[in-house]
Structure 1
Amino acid sequence: MMADGGTALGMVLAWLDRSMPGAVSQLRPPARNEDLRAVETAVGRSLPGDLASWWRAMDGVDGTLSLIPPHHSPYSTRAALENREILLDGWNAAVGHDDPERFDALVADAEQEPAGSACRFAWLPSWLPIAGDRGGDYVFADLRPGPANGCLRLFYRDAGASDVVVWPGVAAMVAEIATGVTFDLPVAGCLPWIEAPGTLTWYVPRFRWYRGGSAFVNGPMLQERYGEFVAELRQGGFSPPARGWSAGLIAAHVARNTELLSEVANALVGMPGAAADLRYDNTAAFDPVVLNSYASLGTAALADRIASLSSNLRAATDGLDRSSPRIQIRLVEGTDVLVDGPESLSGVLNALWGRQLPLRIRQLRALRADRLP
């Protein structure tokens, strides 16, 4: 499902207002017509209608609100022109200093290519940065003529422009962001996440299940997150979901997943030398027959069960081998296989307290919020 372009920005703003109170105040007032004309004059190209509409709705953001994945903050018209000049003068000067005349000729040839054509050796005059990460990476609109006029691509400080068109235009970008943040779906391959202090970040789906590396498991945080989940479950007051899992199915999933993790963690503690023969597969935590069976127990009984299972898992984490031996791990989400091979169980357990349990807590709270007038 893709949000309609006419309502997309409103969906994004509504989500921001719910998820990050005060974030909307970082949006700048709409750009003036003279601001848009200044951009067109500097670039020597007309702005695509959706880009002009984007700036007429908000002239970028103040601060570092990373509204565009993977970590870019929208620019104002003024910031767009300032960063364009930096790239034209700085980046191009650095890569073209050996043979300026030949470099200028190559740039002139690339300017004649249709929008979306690859060009890694320079920043072209018809490229306009619309967002940046403050570290030298940009989202830019390719304003060269052609069917792809206005398409959006990424520019990296060290590697230049990516050959891949991320979005065909600003309208498509905003629509995908709106759908992603509203329904917790990937946007350009990244999922949205609100950190506790109120910071919007983006991460790849596998980080929801696996943090990677062999860092020690943070047992106290694991225990704390389970405690928060159980407390939310015991509070009750959930309404049926408009889409997705009910509270009972969320609890059933957490219970079954915790069972699977406890079995593997305890086996790993008891027989660290047999790690190669151990396997954790989260597919079993999505089995609809199993989840419905567990959910039939009721959320109160499942809360007690999860509390007991999590205590067992927490105890097992204290005994995990510090060398973090690898076991066979298969992680799926929907139809996507995120991990399939020998990995450290600690990466799964740290993602459990860092992403999985907070996600399930948010899902429970959303079901309760649905009951509010």
Structure 2
Amino acid sequence: MNMRVDESWRRITTWLAHHAPVTAAAIRPPAGAAEVRRTEEVMGRALPEDLLAWWGLMDGIADADYRGGSPIPTFYMPLPVVGVRERFAELSRYSNRDCCGPGGAHATVAGQRMFGFCTATVPICWSLGGGMLLVDLRGGPRHGRITEWHADEGYFETGWGGTAAMLDDVADQLDDPSRTEIVEDGRLHWT
């Protein structure tokens, strides 16, 4: 149990239920423990406690429910745990060979900018525009941070130190009416 993740996610889901019920309804119930373990095995490394705690509270938004809105600014939807594995497998086919070496070795460190996909990053959110939010599990002092990735631009830092920090920030942003707009009878839109 991660109290920080639990509290932030409670704030987010309560706000969504009251203000953006279409977005709230698109969020799936918690991921099963077997699915989470399987995903961790596919990643080939231990996943951060705050990410595991979040998956214990929800299992993303199904691709078919993308019209429900994006609970993570500005246009990101959490991936279901099965979707994490699928995106990881798909993107790993195009891994950056200058970074990703044999036996899980990586020539770059967490937070370091690069093009191509690094197999030491875990996709956790997606956008319709093709962007991804990932947990950066490369070594170094920025290990565990959330990064943004676009196939045509590479990796960018988000300023979020991890899943818990991302959820804290999202909960705070929801309290700022200048950051949100409710459209189409209950779908959250970030401004």
Q: TM-score range by the shorter chain?
A: 0.7 to 0.9
Q: Specify the SS of the correspondent of 2:139.
A: coil
1:114 aligns with 2:114: no
The answer to whether the 8 A contact 2:23-2:188 is kept is no
2:133 corresponds to: 139
The answer to whether the 8 A contact 1:73-1:131 is kept is yes
**Match for 1:11: what amino acid?**
R
The answer to whether the 8 A contact 2:6-2:54 is kept is no
1:150 aligns with 2:138: no
Q: Shift of the alpha carbon at 1:37?
A: 1.4
The answer to whether the 8 A contact 2:22-2:185 is kept is no
5+ residue gaps, structure 1, are 93-102, 186-190, 204-373
**Match for 2:188: what amino acid?**
L
Q: Shift of the alpha carbon at 1:113?
A: 3.4
2:15 corresponds to: 15
Aligned structure 1 segments of 4 or more residues deviating by more than 3 angstroms: none
**Match for 1:31: what amino acid?**
A
Q: Shift of the alpha carbon at 1:148?
A: 2.2
* Structure 1 residues 16 and 75: alpha-carbon distance in aligned structure 2, compared to 1, 3 A threshold: same
Q: Shift of the alpha carbon at 1:45?
A: 1.0
Q: Which of the two has greater helix per residue?
A: 1
Q: Specify the SS of the correspondent of 1:111.
A: coil
The answer to whether the 8 A contact 1:115-1:145 is kept is yes
**Match for 2:114: what amino acid?**
C
Q: Specify the SS of the correspondent of 1:129.
A: strand
1:126 aligns with 2:114: no
Larger relative contact order, structure 1 or 2 (CA cutoff 8 Å, min sep 6): 2
5+ residue gaps, structure 2, are none
Under a length normalisation based on structure 1, what TM-score does the superposition of the two structures give?
A: 0.46
Q: Shift of the alpha carbon at 1:29?
A: 1.6
1:178 aligns with 2:167: no
2:51 corresponds to: 51
The correspondence of residues 70-219 of structure 1 with structure 2, limited to 5 A, is 70-89=74-93, 91-92=94-95, 104-108=97-101, 111-120=106-115, 122-162=116-156, 164-184=157-177, 191-203=179-191
1:329 corresponds to: none
* Structure 1 residues 30 and 5: alpha-carbon distance in aligned structure 2, compared to 1, 3 A threshold: closer
**Match for 2:150: what amino acid?**
Y
Distance 1:184 1:86 in 2: 38
Q: Shift of the alpha carbon at 1:166?
A: 2.9
* Structure 1 residues 35 and 152: alpha-carbon distance in aligned structure 2, compared to 1, 3 A threshold: same
Determine which structure has more spread, i.e. the larger CA radius of gyration.
Answer: 1
Distance 1:73 1:165 in 2: 16
Identity, % of aligned positions: 28
* Structure 1 residues 140 and 106: alpha-carbon distance in aligned structure 2, compared to 1, 3 A threshold: closer
* Structure 1 residues 194 and 45: alpha-carbon distance in aligned structure 2, compared to 1, 3 A threshold: same
**Match for 1:73: what amino acid?**
M
* Structure 1 residues 134 and 124: alpha-carbon distance in aligned structure 2, compared to 1, 3 A threshold: same
The answer to whether the 8 A contact 1:154-1:166 is kept is no
Q: Specify the SS of the correspondent of 1:113.
A: coil
The answer to whether the 8 A contact 1:114-1:145 is kept is yes
Q: Shift of the alpha carbon at 1:180?
A: 1.0
